């Protein structure tokens, strides 16, 4: 598809999005959601809400490191830890999150598949042209996290980080309807990029925000996206330098969603051999998704 045809298709898709939803103050609503999930309310109300949430989404609370009755807010439960051994870290490259694989495949001329017929740019996703070039002919996997999923992101391989890249943006929902309707959804939404240097080549883990995702945080430094003050700040993509260059082991925690969203994982050219078991559908943190190729 040439650029003219792609632009026409994108415009036609956008016309199908209700104007009321396009004008919805999505960032404000997301900030408010983040606030409401952390606000202190009577414990009996928190527990009633959590029990309803667990029943509705069939959450396996036995995997949590703490009993349900010990959580003091919805956000505490959304960002819960898992008990030791609940997610064994497998061999090779592993899934960085619990969720579902929605798309995967080759990065063709710097483009990633969003959904059949819709593509987006690696350079725009990473918001760093020199970084995007490293993945022009690489491989990608997209993971969707739903509200009941474990909300932390972990390292898919061992590697080094010296900075993150925060890209402010929109907060469209990332459900299947939105993915099929909003062209370039993942490059429009707010995101945090983790550029990982490994002995085999470049890897990038991208945490993509979404409507009602209160924030994206990281244990690597004092950073949290989508703060109330961000509503009044106009800022482009910017680097967040870590206190020191960090070597993180495979399976180590690197980020947190304060509700579900999407992670896009990118590998450099001829760097990874995807597992034959990799397919669209549910996946758990630590499951093998491929092998790093030797030089």
pLDDT, tens digit, 9 for 90 and up, residues 16-37 = 455 544 545 445 554 555 555 5
Residue 9 included in any domain:
no
Return the SS3 of 131. Answer: helix
Q: Is residue 100's pLDDT more than 80?
A: yes
Find the catalytic residue in 73, 121, 181, 261: 261
Report the pLDDT value the prediction gives residue 284, as an integer from 0 to 100.
97
Of 154, 166, 181, 258, the catalytic one is 154
The whole-number pLDDT of residue 184 equals 87
Tell me if 70 is assigned to some domain: no
Q: What average pLDDT does the segment 71-91 reach?
A: 91
pLDDT score recorded for residue 10: 43
The predicted model gives 173-178 an average pLDDT of 76
Give the closest residue to 270 by CA, choosing from 128, 134, 95. Answer: 134
Q: What is the mean pLDDT of residues 143-169?
A: 94
pLDDT over 90 for what percent of the chain? 56
Closest by Cα among 278, 260, 272 to 74? 260
Question: What percent of the chain has a predicted confidence (pLDDT) above 70?
Answer: 81
Exposed, middle or buried by CB within 10 Å (0-12, 13-18, 19+), for 258? buried
12 belongs to a structural domain:
no
DSSP of 226-294: S-GGGGG-----EEEEEEEEEEE-TT-EEEEESS--EEEEEE-TT-EEE-TT--SEEE-TT-EEEEEPP
205: CB partners within 8 A, 6+ apart = 96, 153, 155, 156, 193, 194, 196, 254, 255, 263, 264, 265, 266
Token pair of 17 as six digits: 């999005």
Mean pLDDT to the nearest integer, 37-55: 80
Task: Tell me whether residue 194 is in a domain.
Answer: yes
60-64, 91-95, 224-228, 243-247: least confident range: 224-228
Report whether pLDDT(79) > 50.
yes
Residue 74 lies in a domain: no
> What pLDDT score does 102 carry?
94
- Confirm whether 234 is domain-assigned: yes
- Choose, from 98, 151, 152, 258, the residue flagged as catalytic: 98
Which of residues 212 and 269 earns the better pLDDT score? 269
Give mean pLDDT, residues 136-157: 94
Mean pLDDT of 191-207: 96
The whole domain housing 267 covers 93-292
Cα end-to-end span (Å), the chain: 34
Is the residue at 46 inside a domain?
A: no
154 closest CA partner among 197, 95, 76, 199: 95
Task: Kindly tell me if the per-residue pLDDT of 99 is higher than 70.
Answer: yes
Instruction: Note if 154 is an active site residue.
Output: yes
The predicted structure's pLDDT at residue 268? 96
Structural domains counted in the chain: 1
Paired with 145 in beta bridges are none
Contact assessment for residue 191 and residue 209, using Cβ atoms and an 8 Å cutoff: yes
To the query of whether residue 98 is one of the catalytic residues in this protein, the response is: yes
Q: Please work out, in degrees rounded to the nearest 5, the angle formed at the alpha carbon of residue 101 by the alpha carbons of 96 and 105.
A: 100
What's the CA gap between 203 and 206, in Å, rounded? Answer: 10
Confidence of residue 234 (pLDDT cuts 50, 70, 90): low
Lowest average pLDDT, out of 10-14, 73-77, 191-195, 261-265, goes to 10-14
Best CA proximity match to 136, nearest among 127, 124, 123: 123
pLDDT in tens, 1-15: 444 344 433 443 444
**What value does the mean pLDDT of the chain take?**
84
Average the pLDDT over each of 96-110, 162-176, 195-209 and give the range with the smallest value. Answer: 162-176
- Asked if residue 131 belongs to a domain, the reply is yes
Confidence of residue 229 (pLDDT cuts 50, 70, 90): low
């Amino acid at each position: 598809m040439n650029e003219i045809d792609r632009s026409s298709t994108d415009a036609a898709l956008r016309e199908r999005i209700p104007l009321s939803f396009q004008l919805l103050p999505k960032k404000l609503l997301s900030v408010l959601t983040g606030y409401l999930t952390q606000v202190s309310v009577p414990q009996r109300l928190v527990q009633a809400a959590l029990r309803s949430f667990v029943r509705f989404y069939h959450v396996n609370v036995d995997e949590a490191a703490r009993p349900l009755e010990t959580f003091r807010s919805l956000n505490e439960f959304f960002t819960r830890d898992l008990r030791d051994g609940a997610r064994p870290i497998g061999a090779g490259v592993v899934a960085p999150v619990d969720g579902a694989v929605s798309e995967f495949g080759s990065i063709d001329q710097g483009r990633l598949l969003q959904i059949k017929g819709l593509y987006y740019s690696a350079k725009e996703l990473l918001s760093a042209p020199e970084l995007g070039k490293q993945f022009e002919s690489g491989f990608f996997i997209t993971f969707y996290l739903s509200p009941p999923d474990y909300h932390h992101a972990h390292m898919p391989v061992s590697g080094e980080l010296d900075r993150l890249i925060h890209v402010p943006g929109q907060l469209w929902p990332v459900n299947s309807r939105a993915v099929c309707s909003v062209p370039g959804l993942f490059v429009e939404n707010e995101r945090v990029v983790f550029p990982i240097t490994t002995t085999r080549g470049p890897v990038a883990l991208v945490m993509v925000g979404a409507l009602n995702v209160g924030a994206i945080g990281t244990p690597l430094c004092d950073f949290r996206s989508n703060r109330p003050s961000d509503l009044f700040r106009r800022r482009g993509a910017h680097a967040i330098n870590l206190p020191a260059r960090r070597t993180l082991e495979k399976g180590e925690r690197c980020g947190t969603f304060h509700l579900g969203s999407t992670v896009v994982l990118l590998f450099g050219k001829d760097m990874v051999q995807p597992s034959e078991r990799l397919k669209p559908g549910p996946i758990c943190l630590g499951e093998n998704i491929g092998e790093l190729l030797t030089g």
